[in-house]
Chain A
């Protein structure tokens, strides 16, 4: 039987939990997530966190600086896994907290919560390395399919939260409710855009250099805020060296929560707390692991430069 409090303790110490426990946890999480709407309604006060990418030690710093769960309420904007060395522990810890304190933790889906992306960017390999088979990866991917696509914080005049950004197919938050989200992230369409798009100084919808999603500008943000009666779009998805960045007269913010991303980018991280009066409070934090040279990397083949 899965002992959640014990699992939380083990994961915080970056220790192994059994494959059976992972399975049980993932089933429980699915049962919980299936009941959630595509857009979760979240109460204030809440701390909104951006990309984590398997940086478990920095996630623990985040909890230390912004308050332990369940004392503080958290909303994570996705991209829990890939690139960092502790994707599995980070995701399982968040999942344990979700199952243990469902009303205190909200997890929404990022573009990395996908089978296709995790096989390329590290999470799949990490699961194989740590468990010797793909089972654990498969259980986690099942959970990914059930994660909500966004959240609405603070009701009217509040904050719309999503991993990537807006979609040319989604003018109103109500339209998101019509998406059948229980699937692998598609290559195009509304669900893809919500997880992939970026804000930029563009006059109209533009092609995203990423190869998925779109670029949207102040016009789109202003319209979206007005039509949906909200004051802010909070999203993650883009590395911000200063941890967070407000754009379009404060109508949109990017929050990034993986300090010194991938142990080499030299950035700080941030979280955003929204209080009962919808005031914004940003908290900056730095990486635990600063030394990139301590990280083993794959050596390139000698023919590399030819």
Chain B
């Protein structure tokens, strides 16, 4: 029996008990909490370092170094309300996939890096902690990336990917990062016009968001039930990192209160599509569901300015729902666009 099935069974049993007039809910909830074994970050990454900047801000990072100099390093930035561990399963899948494809010992296996952005996960911001502007996120990202390169003396090709708001941040950062060796930028499921359109209903969405969950399992089930994450394997590592336990009440509260970011929502996305299309590097856009592009992205795509990939069988958190497909797409994107790898052979002039 899988954990999930067992949970379901336990819940049914509990309902049946209630119907019969028994109520053991407190005890069974307690023991239920103990049954689920949540995976640890160390099952996905080699290192969990805290990067402290000169203002005293502490960024929680996850990193597995690249196998060798010819391996790329993939950097991931999560979206609003999420955390670095949203990329845990994808990161491991990428490395497994590349190792599988290796023929010799010095073949490349990518380094993978993600971190918790300000206000999220275990990152602690002490200077202007309530500044959630695109500029603040972008400055953080640039600092963290440069710190990563310095600490681990990386000389590898770097590809940066962002999910949702994270896509906007990596796009915004690229212009200032051309010297950091970034060879490509990718955005996961973010289209400016559609994001801005979705903002109208965000107020209602946040109002209906449960403030607390009794258990982490409840939080995970809630996310899965609403389709925010469809893949339980990923949810087990990502969702718990969005919550902290209130020692007084024993309940689980969101670490990131999205209400605090409301003033910045438009700032996050305005002008994104044009900025992305105009980037002077290789670009990848992966969308979930449909090819719902706005005008700028549509023109850019039909002029061949970037690569568009649509995953039809996934929700918004595509890196979590379909880690294998996302991994393969990212590896292909790296292979095509890392100029250390690519030699174009032409047969022209061979028959003279």
Contacts and interface: CB of A to CB of B under 8 A. Distances in A.
Given A238-B302, A239-B302, A303 B228 contact: yes
19 contacts: A168-B347, A168-B348, A171-B351, A204-B344, A206-B344, A209-B283, A209-B305, A209-B307, A211-B307, A214-B344, A223-B348, A261-B299, A266-B295, A301-B227, A302-B201, A302-B204, A305-B165, A305-B195, A306-B316
Nearest to A224: B348
Interface in B178-224: 189-190, 194-195, 197-199, 201-202, 204-205
B316 A301 contact: yes
Given A301-B198, A302-B205, A306-B81, A207 B342 contact: yes
Given A169-B346, A238-B303, A306-B164, 18 more contacts: A83-B291, A119-B312, A120-B312, A121-B291, A206-B344, A207-B337, A210-B307, A220-B348, A261-B299, A261-B302, A262-B298, A266-B295, A301-B316, A302-B205, A304-B195, A305-B80, A305-B164, A305-B202
Interface of B: 79-82, 164-165, 189-190, 194-195, 197-199, 201-202, 204-205, 226-228, 258, 265, 268-269, 282-284, 289-292, 294-295, 298-299, 302-307, 309-310, 312, 315-316, 332-333, 336-337, 342, 344-349, 351
A250 interface: no
List the 3 closest pairs (A to B, CB-CB), nearest first. Answer: A168-B346, A211-B307, A239-B302
Contacts of B226: 303
Interface string A275-301: 000000000000000000000011011
B306 A209 contact: yes
Contacts of A306: 79-82, 164-165, 258, 316
Nearest to A168: B346
A238 B304 contact: yes
A303 B283 CA distance: 24
B292 A300 contact: yes
A306 B239 CA distance: 14
Given A171-B348, A207-B336, A304 B204 contact: no
A188 to B, nearest CB: 10
Nearest to B351: A171
A6 interface: no
A139 interface: no
Contacts of A297: 292
A228 interface: no
Contacts of A85: none
B266 to A, nearest CB: 10
Contacts of B294: 264
B195 A265 contact: no
A205 interface: yes
Q: Name, among A238, A239, A302, A305, the residue most crowded by chain B CB atoms within 10 Å (CB to CB).
A: A305
Nearest to B338: A207
A198 interface: yes
A266 to B, nearest CB: 7
A237 B305 CA distance: 12
Nearest to B258: A306
B242 to A, nearest CB: 11
Nearest to B312: A120
Contacts of A83: 291
A264 B199 CA distance: 21
Nearest to A254: B303
Contacts of B348: 168, 171, 220, 223
B29 to A, nearest CB: 27
A305 B195 CA distance: 5
Interface in A101-132: 119-122
Nearest to B226: A303
A208 interface: yes
A171 B165 CA distance: 45
Interface string A194-227: 0000100000111111110010000010010000
